[in-house]
Amino acid sequence: MEDMIKQDIRKLSFEEIRQILTDMGEPAFRAKQIYEWLWQKSAHTFDAMTNLSKDLRIKLSAKFEILPIFTDKVQKSSDGTIKSRFILHDGHKIESVLIPVPDDDRYTVCVSTQVGCSLTCKFCATGQMKRVRNLDGAEIYDQYVLVNQQCMEIYGHPLTNVVYMGMGEPLLAYSSTLDSIAMLTEPFGLNISPKRITVSTAGIAKMIRKLADDDTKVNLALSLHAADDTKRNEIMPINEQNNLEILMESLAYFYEKTGNKISYEYIAFQNFNDSIEDAKNLVKLCKSFPVKVNIIEYNPIDGSSYLKADEDKINLFARHLRNHDIIVTVRRSRGKDIDAACGQLANKE
């Protein structure tokens, strides 16, 4: 007889697990125990679920499987940033980055949501890869768990923040992104404050509205990178269907509905978007709702003609924004010597 195809138990809701256990003649409270093992204790085998009877563990193993991700490669930067490549159950690979800032007691994990990406942003290494598939919510959750273990081992400190800024577009892996956020934030999961989570998007207006309607408590970051449509169309083809006017309306809706923090990510490219005229255009986009601007050093990638803006120009640009009462942070690149910085994730060997 052929082996029965096992079901991935981490794709089931609490109610579905409870119903299956009831049908097996097990008491309903077993579902709560299993759910805690999966999402609070991050168990990767049924044998680890020691408060279940051996008989039940054997039955669960026969019927279900757990498909964790595994660490494939780890690289440490000279600045303390750590990039991990993980291998998925089907052999595909993704990357996550641990960004430690010990002086601020801040330890951030940057997680991926897709294998590859479909958006073809001109400055991004991931954008040169094809999108193979979306990650499952559990595969995003596992990145947090494994990098948190790494953070504890190396820095003696748990992760403090999560940013959905790795490989892929989180709002095009929407259900998986929300599933993972639930497992990270809910009391039956890891119980992390959603205020410590930021979801970044290249700008999918209708999904930003959906994020607001679904009453998520997370912060939102827009990968803006240009403050006029002509320039943004050139570097981010997604802007042709989601222009700045449409995007600003969706962000205003998000803020009005949720009150959650919004930030703009703005990579400064030499002689492209780093002029005072560009800064004036950006000021206009900062007036509709409270927003913080993160100016980011560009990390050149193979196959791209864009260059990092000069430091003096970045400082003048930032000063112009501050003179208009806009909160600005200039972010220096972290982990660029191991291709772990913004826009560099590409599963290189």
Which candidate, 109, 105, 188, places its Cα nearest to that of 144?
Answer: 109
Same-domain check for residues 52 and 86? no
Q: At what angle do helices 174-185 and 137-155 cross, to 10 degrees?
A: 50
Enclosing H/E stretch for 257: helix 244-258
Q: Which of helix, strand or coil describes residue 300?
A: coil
pLDDT band with cut points at 50, 70 and 90 for residue 3 = low
Share of the chain above pLDDT 90, in %: 82
286 is an active site residue: no
Residue 344: inside a domain? no
Q: Where are the beta strands (DSSP E) in 113-212?
A: 114-115, 133-134, 161-164, 197-201
Which candidate, 200, 195, 112, places its Cα nearest to that of 161?
Answer: 195
Instruction: Please report where in the chains the tokens 């990270």 appear, as a residue.
Output: 184
Same-domain check for residues 186 and 273? yes
198, two tokens:
């930021």
Rounded to the nearest integer, the mean pLDDT of the chain is: 92
Residue 149: inside a domain? yes
Residue 347: inside a domain? no
Same-domain check for residues 192 and 56? no
Same-domain check for residues 78 and 54? no
Tell me the mean pLDDT in the region 189-213: 97
Tens-place pLDDT, residues 297-342: 888 777 778 889 999 999 999 999 999 999 999 987 666 665 655 5
The mean-pLDDT minimum among 102-116, 230-244, 288-302 falls in 288-302
Q: At what angle do helices 244-258 and 205-213 cross, to 10 degrees?
A: 10
The catalytically annotated residue of 95, 139, 169, 297 is 95
The catalytically annotated residue of 15, 256, 342, 349 is 342
Enclosing H/E stretch for 263: strand 262-268
Same-domain check for residues 16 and 150? no
Same-domain check for residues 81 and 59? no
Residue where a domain stops, chosen among 35, 65, 95: 65
For residue 1, the model assigns a pLDDT of: 36
Tell me the mean pLDDT in the region 54-60: 95
Separation of alpha carbons 219 and 265, rounded Å = 13
Same-domain check for residues 97 and 208? yes
Separation of alpha carbons 126 and 347, rounded Å = 9
Tell me the mean pLDDT in the region 86-107: 94
Separation of alpha carbons 138 and 163, rounded Å = 16
Dihedral, CA of residue 8, residue 13, residue 15 and residue 20, to nearest 10: 0
**How many residues comprise the chain?**
349
Compute the C-alpha angle 209/211/213, nearest 5°. Answer: 70
Contact 131, 146 (CB under 8 A): no
pLDDT band with cut points at 50, 70 and 90 for residue 2 = very low
342 is an active site residue: yes
Same-domain check for residues 81 and 12? no
pLDDT band with cut points at 50, 70 and 90 for residue 129 = confident
Contact 143, 109 (CB under 8 A): yes
Share of the chain above pLDDT 70, in %: 93
Q: Is the pLDDT of residue 13 over 50?
A: yes
Which candidate, 166, 148, 168, 164, places its Cα nearest to that of 156?
Answer: 148
Range of the domain at 51: 7-65
Residue 82: inside a domain? yes
Separation of alpha carbons 142 and 148, rounded Å = 10
For residue 131, the model assigns a pLDDT of: 82
Same-domain check for residues 57 and 88? no
Enclosing H/E stretch for 97: strand 93-101
Total domain count, the chain? 2
